[in-house]
Chain A
Amino acid sequence: MSQRRSLHERLFRAIVMMGASLGASACGDDGGNPPPPDAGGSTDARVADASTDGPPLQDAPVDGVLIL
């Protein structure tokens, strides 16, 4: 169970947190759609900056053997 939980924690970081971080960054870079206002507290997509034990969220590609 703990191994499976670790695997899903990694998938959560790789999929959800990195995805959300990409979206927040893309808003800032693109200038087309500004980040939503009043996105405070735990709903702020920039909470993806929370520390992880992996590389920077915006830049790290997903390795083809992520799970190993």
Chain B
Amino acid sequence: MELALDQLDRTTRAQLAALWRERAVSEASVGSVFVQLVEELVASGAPAAIIELARQAQRDEARHARVCADLAEAYGGTPVELPPARSVRLPDHGQSDVRLRAALHAINLCCISETIASAFVEACLGGCAADALRELHGQHLADEVHHARVGWAYLATLSPSERAAVAPHLPALLDVQLRLWSERIGALPEAGVAGHGYPPRAQLLEAVHAAISELILPGFDHVGVDSAPARARFARSARSAPSCVART
């Protein structure tokens, strides 16, 4: 894999190797969350096509982990050994209704997190110089788009009363994801690593905020889930965000 490594000093290569190793570990854990989502979708009687999309997403995450590990090895110059993947479960939100529980999981994982991930990877793609890196990020972006679709597809199958039932949960779900993404980006190099898929931290934060304001909130409106409370909560969060983040 040609990554223009000769342009990097040893410290930067080690930094990139560590970042990709961390992402490999994270990707491996996300697979278990899609296992949970598949279980929930099956139990809720979701259409087979949507269940298959979620199963494919689970398989994709395993592949993503391998790709990230390969990049960690390429940058680090040594084989990467990953710990056993953690089994992570999404909260049940105290929901006994199987369809609402599936909907909240789909919203959390797909409508919010994977949609943000799509914008994040798109921003990273713009920061790739080497063809090999652009190709990897391009494929990753395509996968994240497919993963995000699972949530929007499932919301489109809900009845009006079910859509009304999930709406009050949106502000809290969005809050948690925004915090997690902000923390994750906060751990990345502030200036980024030019040409290697890590734009400056401020640009990545802006991508996350733009994903929420331009994709996710309008998306809820599009599928008939009231986004007003979530918009209000997000507007308050944006006002208190660092000045480098675009205001909504």
Contact = CB atoms under 8 A, between A and B. Distances in A.
User: Do A and B assemble together?
Assistant: yes
Interface string B203-240: 00000001100110011011110000000000000000
Contacts of A11: 118-119, 122, 145, 215
Given A11-B215, A32-B47, A67-B125, A26 B153 contact: yes
A15 B152 contact: yes
B47 A23 contact: yes
A36 B138 contact: no
A12 to B, nearest CB: 6
A42 to B, nearest CB: 7
Interface residues of B, number: 45
B221 A62 contact: no
Contacts of A45: 156, 223-224
Contact of B157 (A26, A42, A62, A64): A26
A37 interface: yes
B210 A8 contact: yes
Interface string B145-168: 110111111111111101100000
A2 interface: no
B186 interface: no
Contacts of A27: 47, 156-157
Contacts of A14: 145
A38 interface: yes
B55 to A, nearest CB: 14
A47 B221 CA distance: 11
Interface in B14-56: 45-50, 53
A16 B47 contact: no
A64 B148 CA distance: 15
19 contacts: A5-B214, A8-B210, A11-B119, A11-B215, A15-B152, A16-B219, A16-B223, A19-B149, A20-B152, A22-B153, A23-B154, A23-B157, A27-B156, A39-B160, A42-B221, A43-B160, A43-B224, A45-B224, A67-B125
Given A23-B157, A42-B222, A65-B138, 16 more contacts: A8-B119, A15-B149, A16-B152, A18-B149, A20-B156, A22-B50, A23-B50, A23-B153, A26-B48, A26-B49, A26-B153, A39-B224, A63-B142, A64-B141, A67-B125, A68-B138
